[in-house]
Amino acid sequence: MDKKRILTGDRPTGKLHIGHYFGSLQNRVKLQNEHETFIEVADVQALTDNFANPEKVKNNVKEIIMDQLAVGIDPNKSTIFLQSMVPEIAELTVFYSNLVTIARLERNPTVKTEIAQKREIFGESVTYGFLGYPVSQAADITAFDATIIPVGEDQLPLIEQCREIVRKFNSIYGENLKEPEAYLGENKRIKGLDGNEKMGKSLGNAIYLADSEEEIAKKVMSAVTDPARIKKDDPGNPNVCMVAYYHNLFSKGEVETVCEECKAGKRGCVACKKQLIKNIVEHLAPIQERRRYYEERPEEVKEILMEGTKKARKEAEVTMKKVKQAMKLDYFE
Ligand code: SF4
């Protein structure tokens, strides 16, 4: 496979959880061996719906980076950078905002869904910044000439919006930007402990990569099981049980027995949950060990971010020069 450039990233609004791990991080670790990977810590984007809570964004930057490193992102292979320290991205966002209409942004299905979910923040009228975040994402992608963007199905409209902006730019100012492709890969959405289709911090149904054994135990003990099962020897239905669902992720080689015994009424829910707790703790142990290494070395984490940001900025400066020349903004050259 040809080595291409990938852009991916996370909003620093909370620590990463097992939904992120199975949904994208595992894939990211694999892809860094195949392609040139840029990982953005999207603090500017996080502010679009956390503008009144900058402390939260600031405090989570370090947490997100430590989670990345803990799961196996290698700073020698991947470039981890901070969005706000690459001002060219903000500059590109301004230029691209002329190439997209308000109506088109309002029609974007991803944005539409998110605005509906964030009524408590925006009320009846969404901010200019939030409505325009797909434009800023187009700037993130094109600033680094990235052509592969790992996303979930629900984010495909954002990539399409970026492609439209690139085409419009190239048709007006000449062929300068590359159209990115969405990479669906093995991205999968992991359900929450409560059975909700999505695991999320705001939903309170997540197990974090950094959770202690006690926290994991407490959460698993409260996970939704088959509600029709009253006594230990009642036949259960693992298909409606979140414990069985997580056994499928963490208990390879044991999950078939779990389901058979559950269906046959030969397995108690408490014992079943304890087995899952043990397997999750074992699975997360090496990740947490690496995380502790970085927690004890904040200077090393800072250095990784500074080096990555320096490299990312150099790339963005090249794009900026090209874009300004194309837009006749190169007055003193
Ligand atoms: Fe779920 Fe296990 Fe109880 Fe079956 S025995 S309902 S799989 S917790």
43 and 113 fall within a common domain: yes
43 alpha carbon to ligand 1 midpoint, in Å? 40
Residues 282, 150: Cα–Cα separation, whole Å: 28
The domain tally of the chain equals 2
DSSP string, 104-124: HHHH-HHHHHHHHHTHHHHTT
User: Is 201 within a domain?
Assistant: no
Q: Which are the contacts of 72, defined by CB distance < 8 A and separation ≥ 6?
A: 29, 290
Burial class for 175, CB neighbours closer than 10 Å (0-12, 13-18, 19+) = exposed
Pocket test for ligand 1, best of 220, 222, 225 (most atoms within 8 A of CB): 225
Tokens representing residue 297 in the block? 């070395």
45 alpha carbon to ligand 1 midpoint, in Å? 40
269 CB near ligand 1 (under 6 Å): yes
69 and 184 fall within a common domain: yes
Taking the CA of residue 263 as reference, the ligand 1 atom at the shortest distance is 4
CATH number of the domain at 239, please: 1.10.240.10
236 CB near ligand 1 (under 6 Å): yes
102 and 239 fall within a common domain: no
Taking the CA of residue 267 as reference, the ligand 1 atom at the shortest distance is 5
User: Is 204 within a domain?
Assistant: no
276 CB near ligand 1 (under 6 Å): no
222 and 144 fall within a common domain: no
User: Is 237 within a domain?
Assistant: yes
185 and 227 fall within a common domain: no
55 and 172 fall within a common domain: yes
- Closest by CA to 276, choosing from 211, 212, 205, 219, is 219
User: Is 167 within a domain?
Assistant: yes
Taking the CA of residue 268 as reference, the ligand 1 atom at the shortest distance is 5
Pocket test for ligand 1, best of 221, 229, 266 (most atoms within 8 A of CB): 229
53 and 106 fall within a common domain: yes
Pocket test for ligand 1, best of 193, 239, 241 (most atoms within 8 A of CB): 241
* Per-block mean pLDDT, blocks of 10 residues, the chain (333 long): 86 95 92 96 96 96 97 98 98 98 94 87 89 97 96 90 98 97 80 90 89 97 92 91 96 94 94 97 98 97 98 98 97 86
pTM score, whole prediction = 0.92
254 and 305 fall within a common domain: no
User: Is 206 within a domain?
Assistant: no
Given CA atoms 233, 238, 241, 245 in this order, what sign does their dihedral have?
positive
322 and 262 fall within a common domain: no
Question: What integer pLDDT is reported at residue 149 of this predicted model?
Answer: 94
155 and 31 fall within a common domain: yes
Match 């997540």 to its residue by tokens.
206
258 alpha carbon to ligand 1 midpoint, in Å? 8
229 and 113 fall within a common domain: no
CATH number of the domain at 186, please: 3.40.50.620
273 alpha carbon to ligand 1 midpoint, in Å? 8
Q: What angle do CA 190, 202, 110 make, to 5 degrees?
A: 65
229 CB near ligand 1 (under 6 Å): yes
277 CB near ligand 1 (under 6 Å): no
Owning domain of residue 232: 211-291
60 alpha carbon to ligand 1 midpoint, in Å? 35
Question: What integer pLDDT is reported at residue 310 of this predicted model?
Answer: 98
